[in-house]
Structure 1
Amino acid sequence: MDVSRRFFLAASAGLAAGASVAKIPDVQAASKTVLRVKTRQIEVEGKAVTRYGIEQNDGTFGLFLNDGEPFNVQLVNELNVDTLVHWHGMEEPWRQDGVPYLSAPPIKSGGSMEYQFAALPTGTRWMHSHFGLQEQNLLAAPLIIRDKAEQAEDAQEVVLFLEDFAWRSPEEIFAELRKPKPAMSMSKSSSDTGKSDGPDLNDVDFDAYLANDRTLDDPEIIAVEKGGRIRLRVINASASSEFTVDLGAVQGSLVAVDGNPVQPVSAQRFPLAIAQRADIMLTMPADGSAVPVLALGEGRKLQSGIILRPKGAAVAMISAKTETEGPRVELEQEALLRAVTPLKKRQVQQIIPVDLTGFMSSYIWNMPIHGQAGMPAVVEESQRVELVLTNKTSMSHPMHLHGHSFQVVEINGTRFNGAMRDTIMVPPRMTVTVALETKNPGLWAFHCHNLYHLAAGMFSTMAYREIPDSN
């Protein structure tokens, strides 16, 4: 998506035929941005399909702001079911966080809700439903807040929004995952006591991967300048898939993760766990050739992507199927990252152990805190807290804390001043420690961002001892 045109897709294809929605109130407040949660039609492998989406009145997919502009939004539910949207990576007041029944009740069909807070932190964020399994039905969109340096840089901004797609409904997928497995599969059980033959890379066999709502049989081709500089904002908005972003022969420079600036790291491939984001600077070839930007599915012979094309450049057909499986997403590159603005040095007031546990055989997942299932991580305001995340299973878990940014400070016993993030992947049988400042009182969701792990129990909260009564 070339957001210099302020469009993501020609989403004005709009509501699916026959959709039944309640009457929607007109919103006249000029100072507000209206975001409408609605059904829409996209095309996957040549077939039309109805899914959800979040659009502005003019069809713009998601929300794009500049530093200093307020987050002033009216969210209107045009679906025929309840919904609520979470502003992922923002440090909003907790009652505006968008987690049903925790921060606010869901929005009824035909209803709306208003949000107003400082649009911070700046950077590549995103938005998605936190209601049931709606995220798998593509109820997600970009949320970009450009800082002043990004507004001034001589670079074209391109958003690559990655999602996984299945013809089956999310409910069918989840029901299949919850079915008891045969005894012979117990050797691949993910448990806090049992051993595994090796990491389980995927829960779900998806039918396609989408890049800006399209597959590689009909990819989005974005017009760019020969030799021009690009800020590529990649968002892994998938429900249950990790990717490696592949620039082919082009060298890129990773300059931000989860919207937060890092000391540049040069590479041609960049791992991206579920819910993570990567800002990659690259320069188009001087010879005017096109550059495919591919997303390789972890452990799958399946990919998606977009094409960056200067005027007149030839574009070769690229298959969505690959001969080899996509690379395992691990933490080697994570260990190289250093925050541009790390946390200030300070004594740690509280260390909170969080075990990531579960059984693949019965598909039950948990995250006991202080060894107690169902226990929140209880903190006090103005503390330096470290969360010690220990994965005792054979699957990776991308762990997300709402309302806060944290710094990665330790991987498997090795301390370092790593990146600032809001989502960190914890690979099988590994321990990752993150540090944060408790400066945003509330009752915050804390969970695995694999949608099906969350739904099967890997969800908790971080609770301040004193929680504000209102916004």
Structure 2
Amino acid sequence: MNNLTRRGFLAAGAAVLAAAHLPRAAYAEAAPLALTATRRTLDIGGRAATVFGLAGPGGQGLTLDPGQRFRVDLKNDLDVPTIIHWHGQIPPNAQDGVPDMPLPLIAPGETRSFDFAPLPGTFWMHSHVPLQEMQLLAAPLIVRAPEDLTADRQEVVLFLHDFSFKTPEEVLVEIGAGGGGSHGGHGDGMQAMGSGMMGMGAMQRMDHGSMGGMAIGGMAMDLNDYDWDAYLANDRTLADPEVVAVERGGRVRLRVINAAAATVFWIDTGAARARLIAVDGHPVQPVAGNRFGLAMGQRLDLDIDLPAEGGAWPILALREGARERTGLILATPGAAVRRVESLADTDTPAFDTDLAQESRLMAADPLTERPVDRSQILMLDGQMQPYVWTINGATWGEHRRVTAKSGERVVLSFHNMSMMGHPMHLHGHVFQVVGLNGRRVAGARRDTVYVPPMSMVDIALDAGEAARWMLHCHHMPHLASGMMTEFAVST
């Protein structure tokens, strides 16, 4: 997972720094990187698990240096067709990696080439077939900026996933039948509309119950709709976590990627002081703390300052509304590494129900101010029984396109009328959060924004390439049940 000691990283950076100043044509002449969709076997709790993966030259995923183009030959070594989406990147639409929009799935044995200029930051890549992503067909995509090569810090990637020994088909059947997890109550989106979108004063925190105990307008939230067999950090559980060697008093850049299908996590750095410096690959004004949350599809970059004395520091990912946790250990040479149990003593609260974390984030590189050319409201709704999730009252196939013209400043307003949160991901664009529950903000730039139950989030963007771009919830069971539409950009 690209874990280097600080001195080793700086030495490698010095060697690569010259390459960072090479003309772009020099990278264009380099051989494409090989990336393979394949099967692999993990040891999960002492039990062998066959999953999918994306194998690059140095292991799972890809890391690019400053100025390096994304020139990749993707081979499908699976026995099923697949397609890979470069989450958060802005490739030409034909390379975006969505089935039949416009290119078909990649057949078994086929190789498809990609070539575009990537955005720097913490990104990831995954199959855009929901059942395959649930089988771990996903990996980190790290694009380094020039300052990453000269910074006095060590880079560590924390790639999170949820896992079931059952097939994705079985998982979806259980969720649809209402037997997939222990919920905080079964809210019905249509009934919840009566509590009113503007009545956010009605949101009140209750004593934490078995699932984080939240109520909105007197109704219980639905948090985790499936209890997974394991929660993974870099393909491992806390029964056998990755231990990353670090230096005393060193600084770590922790790149956190939530690749889970249906799990929101809090990242807890414990005694190690941290600053949140980027979300979804885009810098924010630093925010100090030791606990930050991220929903499915989102990323966090944390600068962590380690104590001057030796020791071991667990970096934990806590499942919202529950006791399960995963993570890795940062440890100085020779330090005693104590076992961390996979279950905490108490439940972790629900994530950002009042948008308190999102409201603290301010983009370091905000959009330029300009008049809004087009605005549209997107109603997010659904319910647990029957298990159906919609955008503007429709599922995929019956959806109504969200439209814009290339170059327009567009504001999209997500109104969540359901009792589950929705991480909404827009392909092919970077947007800025500009409104939270009716209050204007100069928020973070993102590609995936979390919309809590009974909440409103407004985003602003400049419409890009004239093409059909996907807009969907990144909760995989929600996506699989139809919570997806198109952002159709015309000339």
Same fold (TM over 0.5): yes
What pairs with 1:367-378 in structure 2 (closer than 5 Å)?
367-368=391-392, 374-378=399-403
- C-alpha displacement at 1:392, in angstroms? 0.3
For 2:219 and 2:357, the matched residues in 1 are separated by 25
For 2:483 and 2:420, the matched residues in 1 are separated by 13
Q: Does 1:141 align with 2:139?
A: yes
Q: Which range moves more in the overlay, 221-230 or 326-335?
A: 326-335
Confirm or deny: 8 A CA contact 2:187 2:220 kept in the other structure: no
Q: Structure 2 vs 1, CA of residues 371 and 290 (structure 1 numbering), >3 Å: closer, same or farther?
A: closer
- C-alpha displacement at 1:288, in angstroms? 1.1
Q: Which range moves more in the overlay, 158-167 or 368-377?
A: 368-377
- 2:42 matched residue in structure 1: 42
- C-alpha displacement at 1:427, in angstroms? 0.3
For 1:166 and 1:309, the matched residues in 2 are separated by 30
- 1:271 matched residue in structure 2: 293
Q: Does 1:353 align with 2:377?
A: yes
Q: Structure 2 vs 1, CA of residues 351 and 100 (structure 1 numbering), >3 Å: closer, same or farther?
A: same
- 1:179 matched residue in structure 2: 177
For 2:126 and 2:77, the matched residues in 1 are separated by 15
What pairs with 1:1-400 in structure 2 (closer than 5 Å)?
1-4=1-4, 31-56=31-56, 58-119=57-118, 121-179=119-177, 188-194=186-192, 197-330=219-352, 331-368=355-392, 374-400=399-425
For 1:218 and 1:447, the matched residues in 2 are separated by 35
Q: Structure 2 vs 1, CA of residues 2 and 32 (structure 1 numbering), >3 Å: closer, same or farther?
A: closer
For 1:157 and 1:364, the matched residues in 2 are separated by 41
For 1:187 and 1:281, the matched residues in 2 are separated by 37
Secondary structure of 1:176's counterpart equals: helix
- C-alpha displacement at 1:103, in angstroms? 3.1
Q: What letter corresponds to residue 78 of structure 1 in structure 2?
A: D
Confirm or deny: 8 A CA contact 1:255 1:279 kept in the other structure: yes
Q: Paired residue for 2:437, among 412, 426, 430? A: 412
Q: What letter corresponds to residue 54 of structure 2 in structure 1?
A: I
Name stretches of at least 5 consecutive residues in structure 2 with no aligned partner: 6-28, 194-217
- 2:8 matched residue in structure 1: none
Confirm or deny: 8 A CA contact 2:60 2:139 kept in the other structure: yes
Secondary structure of 1:109's counterpart equals: coil
Give aligned pairs, total: 438
Name stretches of at least 5 consecutive residues in structure 1 with no aligned partner: 6-28, 467-471
For 1:377 and 1:408, the matched residues in 2 are separated by 18
Q: What letter corresponds to residue 60 of structure 1 in structure 2?
A: G
- C-alpha displacement at 1:323, in angstroms? 1.6
For 1:326 and 1:170, the matched residues in 2 are separated by 26
Q: Which range moves more in the overlay, 94-103 or 417-426?
A: 94-103
Coordinate RMSD, CA, aligned: 2.0
Q: What letter corresponds to residue 375 of structure 1 in structure 2?
A: R
Secondary structure of 1:188's counterpart equals: coil
Secondary structure of 2:89's counterpart equals: coil
Show CA shifts across 1:126-166 (max 9, x none): 00000241001000000011111122211100000000011
For 1:115 and 1:2, the matched residues in 2 are separated by 23
Report % sequence identity.
44
Show CA shifts across 1:232-277 (max 9, x none): 0000010000000001122200000000000000001001111100
Secondary structure of 1:151's counterpart equals: helix
